[in-house]
Copies of this chain bind each other. A is one copy, B any other.
Amino acid sequence: MNFCSECGDMVKLLVPDGDNLPRHVCQRCGTIHYLNPKLVVGCIAEWQDQILLCRRSIAPRYGLWTLPAGFMENGESTTQAAIRETLEEACARVDIQQLFSLVNVPHINQVHLFYRARLLDTSFAAGLETLETELFSEQTLPWQSLAFQSVTLCLRAYFADRKAGRFVFHEDDLPRPVAPITDHLQG
């Protein structure tokens, strides 16, 4: 951030009075620009013993498989975001069941939420950001070709809970990767 989005003047990184972290502060109008983590919200859409995955048609992780998910928008709730993303990426209609997993990804300033959801029918299809959509069981799921570590964690917990005969809420923090980050989910 170089310029104030309110007045267009230069911003400076400094700790405002009464604060304890450096913020981008406008040198003309005084606006303090806070940067906060973003929510990525999606669904584990279930059909019998299978769940729906999307193969990505966009960077990052082109060609790899993921749960339908994306950035939550202003003005919507987390379940509305999950339903919308599932419709946009997989053309799939779902009934939301419950929040299943929260994964913190602090090194890219994201929090991922995944809801268990019931697929209403099997008329899903690839959305604009998807090459193909497919239902997978635990055995057929492309575990080695998943796009994001948060999805892998979530799905491991999901199939473990299913074996145990009960679903509980899971929370995890992803560690900072050892290799430099070259890409991440884009807005």
A-side interface residues toward B, CB under 8 Å? 1-8, 10-11, 18, 20-21, 24, 32-39, 71-80, 88, 98-99, 102, 104, 106-107, 109, 111, 128, 169, 171, 173, 187
Report copies per complex: 2
Contact in complex: A74, B187 (CB < 8 Å):
no
Contact in complex: B3, A39 (CB < 8 Å):
no
Q: Give me 8 other A-B pairs in contact (C-beta within 8 A), A75-B107, A79-B173, A99-B169 excluded.
A: A5-B33, A8-B8, A37-B74, A37-B76, A39-B39, A72-B111, A78-B102, A79-B171
Contact in complex: A36, B74 (CB < 8 Å):
yes
Q: Would A34 and B76 be within 8 Å (CB), given that A1-B5, A2-B6, A169-B99 are in contact?
A: no
Distance (Å) between the CB of A87 and the closest chain B CB?
A: 11
The listed residue with most B CB atoms (<10 A of its CB), out of A10, A37, A106, is A37
Distance (Å) between the CB of A2 and the closest chain B CB?
A: 6
Chain B residues lying within 8 Å of A37, measured Cβ to Cβ, are 39, 72-74, 76
Q: How far is the CA of A98 from the CA of B187 in the complex (A)?
A: 29
Contact in complex: B34, A36 (CB < 8 Å):
no
Distance (Å) between the CB of A157 and the closest chain B CB?
A: 14
Q: Which of B74, B79, B106 contacts A35 (CB 8 A)?
A: B74
The residue in chain B whose Cβ has the minimal distance to the Cβ of A36 is: B38
Chain B residues lying within 8 Å of A8, measured Cβ to Cβ, are 2-3, 8, 10
